[in-house]
Amino acid sequence: MAVIADVVIIGAGIVGLSIARELKKRHPLQKIVILEKESGLGKHASGRNSGVLHSGIYYPENSLKARVCAEGASAMAAYCVEEGLPIKRVGKVILPVREENTQLDLLFHRAKHNGARAEMIDAQQLKEIEPDAYSLTGKALYLPDSAVIDPVPILSRIADSLKKAGVAVCFDQKADVMDSKKGCLKTREGVISYGYLFNTAGLYADKIAKAFGVGQEYTILPFKGLYYRLKKSSGLQLNGHLYPVPDLRVPFLGVHFTKKVDGEVTVGPTALPAFGREHYQGLKGLNFFDTSSILFQIFQQYLANKQGFRELMHQEGTRFLKKYFTQAARQLIPKLRSEHLVRSQKVGIRAQLVHIKKKELVTDFLIQRGERSTHILNAISPAFTSAFSFSRFVLDNYYESGGLR
């Protein structure tokens, strides 16, 4: 069966769906096809993230993340309210866990620059907001507007709206690039010819990009996030989110407490390299080629030791053990005990892009244009938060600007 489409999008995660949503607003007559290799929505990062709508305070002022995060959070929150989807504004506190606290001041500065409402608070104010929390320096950063959502219902609502608008959302459709110049893909149901393609394939975005001759200098190094959940019987009080001041050299936020829309508290995640792009548990998701490539990349990163990679590996390696995981969490809530935590079934994998020659983790969103195509190579956190504003940026700068109106 041959299909002809104006636009094909590979990947039905939040970025792919949001690009389709924005495209349909701008070009209602276009025939848009979304190809998803899984049997349903939210099987990977978009359905496994924390649900926190990030404020944008972690990102350097000149970064793309800083440009789109706060606006994206506002747009996503408004969408949830308009659509009657779960959302709770619970607030967020960022706590110093080291004596040196210039990073907290830097985050406060970035908050003001990036459009996030933030307040520097003292120990007494912290006790009023989060009675069980502890600040090593007596100061903390409070973000009253921080909210949490439930990702999967959002994915489902967007997909349903797209289908009603005539967009084809096709599951179990792994796409193989036949001819990037002529615009041809092959799926199990036949050939698709397209005018333009968006690669939003997450964990496999680098592989698809390379079939277009794009992103040759990059590869995905997947990181696995393991979580615990806080027992209700712990007696600990948590009103919102609690985060440590992170190591800003790397794109990980450290072990933190997240209050979900249903009131459950998750603790985590770790940031351990996964040995496969879908290595969620056991031996599932492993294959010789990918595992060998990943182990080589870990070795290379470890030797180069850029962005504090070696320290990160030592730290996160110990947190695989509950004792050391609990120690990290106790920096935020000293009353926490190991018996208060139970292992969560939730496991996430971050599609972290690495620059092969520089041996550096790519910390910002990364987009590259190819032959009649645009490739979203690095769409790590806060991609869900930023999705609506990010999709507008992509279309403005990589689609419309190319004369494809």
Where do the CATH 3.30.9 domains begin and end in the chain?
219-355
- The H-or-E segment that residue 329 falls in is helix 322-330
Q: What is the pLDDT of residue 189?
A: 87
Tokens found for residue 198: 């968006």
Each residue's pLDDT expressed in tens, for the chain with a length of 405 residues? 578 999 999 999 999 999 999 999 999 999 999 999 999 999 999 999 999 999 999 999 999 999 999 999 999 999 999 999 999 999 999 999 988 768 999 999 999 999 999 999 999 999 999 999 999 999 999 999 999 999 999 999 999 999 999 999 999 999 999 999 999 999 998 999 999 999 999 999 999 999 999 999 999 999 999 999 999 999 999 999 999 999 888 889 999 999 999 999 999 999 999 999 999 999 999 999 999 999 999 999 999 999 999 999 999 999 999 999 999 999 999 999 999 999 999 999 999 999 999 999 999 999 999 999 999 999 999 999 999 999 999 999 999 876 454
CATH 3.50.50.60 range(s) for the chain read 1-68+148-217+363-405
Identify the CATH assignment for 219-355 out of 1.20.120, 2.40.30, 3.10.450, 3.30.9. Answer: 3.30.9
CB-based contacts of 343: which residues, under 8 Å, 6+ apart? 226, 227, 228, 322
Question: CB neighbours (10 Å) of residue 145?
Answer: 17
Domain 1-68+148-217+363-405 annotated CATH 3.30.56.10: no
Residue 107 and residue 388: Cα distance in Å, rounded?
A: 24
Predicted local distance difference test score (pLDDT) of residue 402:
61
Token pair belonging to 291: 């595992």
| β partners of residue 322 | none
